[in-house]
Chains A and B, each alone.
Chain A
């Protein structure tokens, strides 16, 4: 890869502070670098600039030069170069920095301009805050408090518009609240590439609507709800469920595919209410697929496995099974398990002298944030050494070995073996030890069933398609009776005659760092929020299935070499 050229730096002066920023930065971003807040609604760092909300008005000026000689004109009072201030305010989002640019964000003119814009925006905005889901994270509330006049001069009747328009299966529009910033329209057009939204009518009649006969139903529709600065676009799933100030935010990772989009899980008292994207400019920018936002429903699903016995009793029964069939054991790990679990799975396979395999799950990639590989952590299994080659979708080898009577016991971790191509008759021929959170055909056929955790109930790490190792944190406490996968796996390893391994993440990471060279310098605690890119060269020859997605390009030459 060619390293990006060093950006040209431009020195600007914002409220008296000098700062050098890359050429092409606009005033809002430059001000953010010196911790000056320029309020805005329509501007979004990942979308095009339209400048229609007028909230980011600033006062700007350039150093004065003599028009004829181009010599700087000095101000005798200060002894510095004189600044020619433009007599009208300018928008910060549409103004790119230029050398010597001076910006004032707190002058009386700017204050007046902001108060005027706020007053116009609030004229027809309903007093819905008590019933509005955006309350607490609403830019209009924040900026009315921070930059508004503080009282209303409007005595006329407010506009009345539709309050419950269904724009699509997951998005509900409250037209009265809309401030016509057009972020949602630009998102649909530029990022989701599904240009279905637009404004119709003029003046105070302007309304956000879908193109006739179309719906906002692409898999990224809920991002419009995230970027809506007011409560106009609301998530039908989260609508009227809980006020946001009650919710605890936990950083997590989207596990629906190998993209590994960064997320925030919002929960209260052990119940998850919603999942939103977390900005990571190297992985998912500020976006997240709709399909990733419903994954939390697996936590309180009706088919969660209930604990029937204590873990110790179950481990003792599993140990008896292991002893009954030495050398005839297979371990089916999972590309959905965390790196730590896969590390313990590798130890379990080694202790049992068993073969270890994964089941691949391949779907259609959408070139954005859902990749073709629907296992979030196949690369974690490669890094920890659980597998050497890429997994196949069907366990044909295992099926053949079961039919030949060479395998008597199968340890299945979070994988439904019937979905991986094993028949019910084959499952009946072997003794199955199953670890998983939800019931399926394999758990029903299993001799020993451990009820374990969903990804929202445990901490761990995942390695995404870029070989970026990222951590996900426990958002809610474990369901009653369910045991941490690490505890179960560590006890199974001990029962199989392997090493005594810790189930605690901090202690386990010491063992991982010592045994896995790629992770030698890491601990769980010091893994940065944006993840850490691991060396991918040992696996460059493997034919990974992912196509191009946001911030990821498959290594084409390697695939060609592997197929050649």
Chain B
């Protein structure tokens, strides 16, 4: 194996004083002292969430305050880590506001310890009822606390605007439309 001898140059006078290096370092320090801040005082300050961010999956209501989910269980089917668990139920005929929808979830649980935030549930939902919104931090002391139940999912989801009003149209058709 060949041995290569590396020539070590002696330090110049200025280098031996260390002063240029100290000045360079101080320049960086003073620049950041007066430059705008890059960090946030989390959790008091929160970052701006970009559009299309996939946070915690939530259930939303339509502008009339009616739950949009009809418990078709497609999200439960598509969910890769099997985080979603739905118990479907029938909406009784005596509830005038929602009886025409016929079906809604009795229970809707999302296990956030299983959820991988892939967004397939939002993509597959035929009723546009489940959305991955801006919420990004979930914590809890027990496993049970990390399961979002139906109430919590609606609390997180809130109300979103609706482009279709599918069930309102259905009800309007039933009342005045093409009745047979």
Contacts from A to B (Cβ < 8 Å): 127, 129-131, 135, 157-161, 163-164, 204-205, 207, 239-243, 245-246
Contacts and interface: CB of A to CB of B under 8 A. Distances in A.
B127 interface: yes
Given A130-B126, A204-B180, A246-B77, 14 more contacts: A130-B74, A131-B70, A157-B178, A159-B180, A160-B174, A160-B177, A161-B180, A163-B102, A240-B88, A240-B90, A242-B73, A243-B77, A245-B77, A246-B76
A243 B73 contact: yes
A204 B90 CA distance: 28
A239 B173 contact: no
Interface in B78-127: 88-90, 93, 100-103, 126-127
Contacts of A207: 180
Contacts of B89: 240
Given A130-B72, A131-B103, A204-B180, A242 B88 contact: yes
Contacts of B180: 159-161, 204-205, 207
A131 B177 contact: no
B173 A160 contact: yes
B72 A160 contact: no
B40 interface: no
Contacts of A242: 73, 88
B63 to A, nearest CB: 20
A323 B71 CA distance: 59
Contact of B178 (A129, A158, A240): A158
Contacts of B166: 127
A135 to B, nearest CB: 8
A130 B72 CA distance: 5
Nearest to B85: A269
A131 B167 CA distance: 12
5 contacts: A130-B70, A131-B71, A157-B177, A160-B178, A160-B180
Contact of B173 (A129, A131, A158, A241): A158
Contact of A130 (B93, B127, B178, B179): B127
Contacts of A159: 178, 180
Contacts of A239: 90
A237 B72 CA distance: 18
B173 A157 contact: yes
A160 B179 contact: yes
- The 6 lowest CB-CB distance pairs between A and B, nearest first, are A130-B72, A131-B103, A157-B178, A240-B90, A243-B73, A130-B126
A243 to B, nearest CB: 5
Contacts of B90: 239-240
Given A160-B178, A160-B179, A241 B88 contact: yes
Contacts of B127: 130
A348 to B, nearest CB: 44
Interface in B50-85: 70-74, 76-77
A172 to B, nearest CB: 10
A160 B175 CA distance: 9
Contacts of B93: 164
Nearest to A239: B90
Nearest to B175: A160
A141 to B, nearest CB: 13
A205 B72 CA distance: 29
A57 B40 CA distance: 70
A231 to B, nearest CB: 11
Nearest to B74: A130
A155 to B, nearest CB: 13
Contacts of B73: 242-243, 246
Contacts of B77: 243, 245-246
A164 B178 contact: no
Contacts of A130: 70, 72, 74, 126-127
A167 B89 CA distance: 21
Nearest to A241: B88
Contacts of A240: 71, 88-90, 102-103
Contacts of A205: 180
Given A130-B127, A161-B180, A243 B72 contact: yes
A163 B90 CA distance: 13
A241 B127 CA distance: 19
Contact of A131 (B72, B174, B178, B179): B72
Among A130, A135, A161, A245, the one with the most B-chain Cβ atoms within 10 Å of its Cβ is A130
Nearest to B176: A160
B70 to A, nearest CB: 5
B106 to A, nearest CB: 9
Contacts of A245: 77
A129 B88 contact: no
Interface in B120-169: 126-127, 166
